[in-house]
Homo-oligomer: A and B are copies of this chain.
């Protein structure tokens, strides 16, 4: 009997048959996450109700060395929840209780399957919200946000998921339950929270998340500014930040993205704009008034030919509708597209956008740009028609070339979508062997059998213990001469 079959029988016995999916047709539902270009039908799906279910599944996998993958809402864009054909997919989306809202200490304790926006809905009556706001926030889960360290438009001011998680319950890959952090900041011992958040499921399965709640701002003001060029919009972005203003968000869209959004949702963006900026300011009213004046002034000084201010919530919603629908809208002007995710230093924005345009022109591929300008997090949309011979390959080349540009300009291969299955191959471009080995040493500390979301993040997974010199009793430097060593 195969190891997977043994695990299936054990779990059906312990959890009950309705918690365990083995039907091929139903298994196929889980074959991919938001990045549909990778597909693997899982060997078994477990629908977890609580931490005990998760522990049971992980322990069964550990006993029989069967790989497992945890999945939240399945909205990830890097293939981080891609299943294993001979493994178990642990579906967390039914663990959806908000266990506690502790407004006095600005904390909430939630199940990993709780939807991002659900938590904001539950805490806003007390005057709070959960700040990380990925575009998928109406459907994505907080457990998934933790796995990928998700960001969003307002992360410029409020930080990523990692800045809003103060505690986690973790089932380690050997099935132990560990508490990491808690409600208080700065516990003694190693602070493993940062390592866990964004570890993409490779260090175990999170079964409870303690998050920091953020006060709803007293006032919000939203500006829409039209520029002749992305250079001008980039200059405005730099000037605003350099002036010491920290907007809640600075979003940029280029002409092609504006065209797509306009066709799709008629958001009424300034006509003839080569780029628009959406600048949102929030906080105390007195503060916002001053920052608002500064932001408008810097937009105008950088050459904005139109600066519009949302007069009310309806106008604000329309401005954001254009921005938020941009990805989907691109589907109206192109049959297929790749969403890329990369980061560059904010000061390199104009230069990198020019290089991206040149790269696209060279290969005859159109690229629309929609992105978080404030923190240099690019989301180029590489357009193609799969019906056209070789078009997908050219688009892939351009998408890959964009990441090379990010790296060459001192940036990074992912801003908020994660490495997952998709970008593991680029990791050696950003990290030395020693850097990657150190990460894998940590991975081995948690998961010596590499059964927790294998094949993700690391380009060349190695067996734990195979690192030269890290075996018990053997040290690579012991045999090396002194001259070589220093």
A: residues with CB less than 8 A from B are 10, 13-14, 52, 55-56, 59-60, 62-63, 104-105, 127, 149, 151, 159-160, 162, 172, 174-180, 183-195, 197-199, 215, 242, 244, 283-284, 286-287, 289-290, 343, 345-347, 375-376, 410-416, 418-419, 423, 427, 430-432, 434-439, 441-446, 448-449, 457, 464-465, 469-470, 472, 475-478, 482, 485-486
Tell me the complex Cα distance, A444–B442, Å. Answer: 9
Contact of A415 among B186, B346, B347 (CB under 8 A): B186
List the B side residues contacting A412 at CB < 8 Å. 184, 186-188
Contact of A446 among B104, B423, B430, B441 (CB under 8 A): B441
Residue of B nearest to A447 (CB): B441
Q: Is the CB of B477 within 8 A of A472?
A: no
A154 CB to closest chain B CB, in angstroms?
14
A442 to B438, CA, bound (A): 10
Minimum distance in angstroms from A122 CB to a CB of chain B: 19
Q: Chain B residues with Cβ under 8 A from A284's Cβ?
A: 286-287, 290
Contact of A10 among B242, B437, B482 (CB under 8 A): B482
Q: Is the CB of A445 within 8 A of B448?
A: no
Cβ contact within 8 Å between A189 and B457: yes
Whether A477 lies near B192 (C-beta < 8 A) is no
B446 adjacent to A438 (CB under 8 Å) = yes
Number of copies: 2
A478 CA to B475 CA, complexed, in Å:
31
Contact of A14 among B180, B448, B486 (CB under 8 A): B486
- List the B side residues contacting A195 at CB < 8 Å: 190-192, 194-195, 442
Contact (Cβ within 8 A) A162 B186: yes
Partner of A345, one of B56, B62, B105: B105
**Cross-chain contact B290 with A469 (CB below 8 angstroms):** no
Q: Please state if A175 and B287 are interface contacts (CB–CB under 8 Å).
A: no
Residues of B within 8 A of A430 (CB): 187-189
A435 touches B185 (CB 8 A): no
Among B59, B184, B376, the residue within 8 A (CB) of A485 is B59
Q: Would you give the shortest CB distance from A404 to chain B, in whole angstroms?
A: 15
- Minimum C-beta distance from A93 to chain B (A): 22
**CB closest chain-B residue, reference A464:** B472
**Known contacts A191-B197, A191-B198; 17 further A-B pairs (Cβ under 8 A):** A59-B477, A63-B478, A151-B186, A172-B438, A176-B437, A183-B410, A188-B423, A188-B430, A188-B457, A189-B419, A189-B427, A189-B430, A189-B431, A192-B195, A195-B442, A286-B286, A449-B475
Q: Closest 9 CB pairs between A and B? A: A194-B194, A286-B286, A441-B445, A445-B445, A191-B194, A176-B434, A190-B439, A188-B419, A63-B477
User: Which chain B positions have C-beta within 8 A of A434?
Assistant: 172, 176-178
| Cβ distance A430 to chain B, nearest Cβ, rounded Å | 7
B472-A105 in contact (CB<8A): no
Would you list 17 pairs from A and B whose C-beta atoms are within 8 A, ordered by A residue? Answer: A14-B486, A62-B477, A63-B475, A63-B485, A149-B186, A160-B185, A162-B191, A172-B438, A176-B437, A187-B430, A188-B430, A190-B439, A194-B194, A195-B442, A283-B287, A284-B290, A286-B287
CB-defined contacts of A178 to chain B, threshold 8 Å: 432, 434-435, 438
Measured CA separation A105–B343 after assembly (Å): 14
Cβ-defined contact, A347 with B62, below 8 A = no
**Once bound together, how far apart are the Cα atoms of A244 and B283, in whole Å?**
11
- Expressed in whole angstroms, the minimum distance between the Cβ of A252 and any Cβ of chain B is 18
Q: Which residues of B contact A469 (CB under 8 A)?
A: 174
**A188 contact set on B, CB distance < 8 A:** 412-414, 418-419, 423, 427, 430, 457
Which residues of chain B come closer than 8 Å to A419, judged between CB atoms?
Answer: 188-189
B185 touches A375 (CB 8 A): yes
Closest-CB distance, A169 to chain B (whole angstroms) = 11
Nearest CB in chain B to that of A64: its residue = B478
Cβ contact within 8 Å between A444 and B445? yes
Q: Which residues of B contact A215 (CB under 8 A)?
A: 244
In the complex, which residues of chain B have a beta carbon less than 8 angstroms from the beta carbon of A347?
104-105
Bound: A310/B398 CA distance, A: 60
| A63, A188, A345 — most chain B CB neighbours (10 Å) | A188
CA distance A280 to B457 in the complex (A): 45
